[in-house]
Structure 1
């Protein structure tokens, strides 16, 4: 299957906005705190225009089928590396999952991160999202920390 990886452009924003809502809907079963309605996790235009971020899309036959970004961030002062790249907005349309496209996307993002002189990549994933966890482990990621919460009052 010929799926190309390329930089997102401002012309991709309408499709990317749709992907974002599909991602939010897919994450709602894992997180009861996500409010109803339209939810905006990221400023996609800013990611496209930033020198510290790379928003990539997966394209098949002229149509977008997935996306993801890497954003260079300052690390906490007590950590080994001064900067790291945060991966986010990792999305592949359901009918294209299981074809290695997430791995293709992660590999391209890692290459961009290395080109920026950054050597660590981090991401967040819901532990209950077993498919995503396995995909990230396959790409070399290891679990590091669990976030816990409770409602009070």
Structure 2
């Protein structure tokens, strides 16, 4: 998969992206005083094959001038009906405000819908104000049952 948005390339993750993608996520977490958890909530970034590819999901990176500047992913989950969870939507501050996050979310939703899933779940932290605003303005409904320690919000969107 390869998509273009302005001067950005959104593409499938490759093994060579492992460290760069992890660095993007770690950097954004740090920006918001959240902790990188290599043995916990972020283990999936270090083991993309197991958590995403082999599990029936996808992990994408956003590339700009041969640098990884963002990530986004999803995988099937047992919560809900024919459900996935969107995870690891992180964009470096220098490329925010260009509509990239909204475009990435829309493309993830399109890919998820094409694969026949019916529900999309997202967990986030209130401190990630831009993410909360994006999800709420994109039709995600607050729900209950947060499963990730550093998160305090969970949302669901029903696909019809």
TM-score by length of 2: 0.74
Task: Structure 2: state its 5+ residue gaps.
Answer: 1-5, 150-160
SS for the counterpart of 2:43 is coil
Larger fraction in strand? 2
Corresponding residue of 2:94: 95
Map 1:9-88; keep pairs closer than 5 Å.
Answer: 9-28=14-33, 34=35, 39-40=37-38, 41-44=42-45, 45-46=48-49, 47=51, 49-75=53-79, 79=80, 81=81, 83-88=82-87
CA deviation string 1:34-55 (max 9, x = no partner): 5xxx522132332453251110
Report the secondary structure of 2:97's partner residue.
Answer: coil
- Measure the CA separation in 2 of the matches of 1:43 and 1:128: 22
SS for the counterpart of 2:118 is coil
Do the aligned residues in 2 keep the contact of 1:48 with 1:55 (CA within 8 Å)?
yes
- Rg larger in 1 or in 2? 1
Match of 2:7 among 2, 20, 26: 2
Instruction: Provide the TM-score with structure 1 as the length reference.
Output: 0.77
RMSD: 2.2
Give the count of matched residue pairs.
136
